[in-house]
């Protein structure tokens, strides 16, 4: 008897569809687009690289790693060793990005922003992400991944370009 895909990845006989869906394909594309903007901004700002503190380079490196890993994880089969390894690397990179946002604030005291609230949320959600994966709670794991990708990666990444922030100044200046 064949199973048919139903709403939210649920199949008729109760097994959860682990294949990438349209939302995950779009999120992967958006991560690549954001990565492109970041790389172009970095290339255009190369004359100022020597002025950047090491903490900012750590932040950029972990953010770039997260952006590179996102489509690799979202577009490929789940439940494999590769998915787990890349997933742990994604969690580590995103966690370091969030932690480093506080270290960045120390270079400019008094400059906490809404992004720092997001960093706290990220640091709270990352353990839940790992726990849901280890418990095979696919629905909750998928929701957390999507939330982190949309909120912490894409939205926060977008807001690094306007308001006279470094990447925006390099990209548009």
Helical H segments across 1-149, by residue range: 22-44, 54-74, 81-107, 114-134, 138-147
- 65 part of a folded domain: yes
β-partners of residue 10 are 16
Instruction: Please check the confidence at residue 160 and state whether its pLDDT lies above 70.
Output: yes
Q: Which structural domain, as residue segments, surrounds residue 153?
A: 21-172
Query: For residue 33, what is the DSSP state?
Result: H
- 3 part of a folded domain: no
pLDDT in tens, 76-99: 999 899 999 999 999 999 999 999
- 1 part of a folded domain: no
- 107 part of a folded domain: yes
- Provide the whole-model pTM: 0.86
Question: How much of the chain exceeds pLDDT 90, in percent?
Answer: 68
- 2 part of a folded domain: no
- 157 part of a folded domain: yes
Q: Are the C-beta atoms of 96 and 62 separated by less than 8 Å? A: yes
Domain tally, the chain = 1
- 6 part of a folded domain: no
- 15 part of a folded domain: no
How far is CA 96 from each of CA 25, 66, 161, 167, rounded to the nearest angstrom?
25, 10, 20, 19
pLDDT in tens, 93-144: 999 999 998 888 765 655 666 777 889 999 999 999 999 999 999 999 999 9
């Amino acid at each position: 008897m064949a199973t048919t895909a139903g709403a939210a990845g649920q199949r008729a006989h109760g097994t959860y569809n682990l294949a990438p869906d349209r939302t995950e394909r779009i999120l992967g594309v958006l991560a690549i687009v954001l990565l492109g903007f970041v790389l172009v901004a970095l290339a255009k700002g190369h004359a100022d690289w020597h002025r950047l503190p090491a903490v900012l380079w750590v932040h950029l490196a972990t953010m770039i790693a997260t952006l590179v890993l996102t489509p690799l994880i979202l577009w490929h089969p789940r439940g494999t060793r590769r998915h787990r390894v890349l997933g742990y690397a994604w969690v580590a990179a995103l966690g370091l990005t969030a932690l480093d946002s506080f270290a960045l604030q120390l270079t400019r005291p008094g400059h906490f922003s809404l992004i720092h609230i997001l960093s706290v949320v990220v640091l709270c959600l990352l353990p839940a992400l790992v726990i849901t994966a280890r418990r095979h709670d696919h629905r909750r794991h998928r929701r957390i991944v999507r939330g982190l990708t949309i909120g912490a990666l894409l939205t926060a990444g977008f807001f690094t370009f306007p308001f006279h922030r470094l990447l925006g100044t390099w990209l548009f200046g």
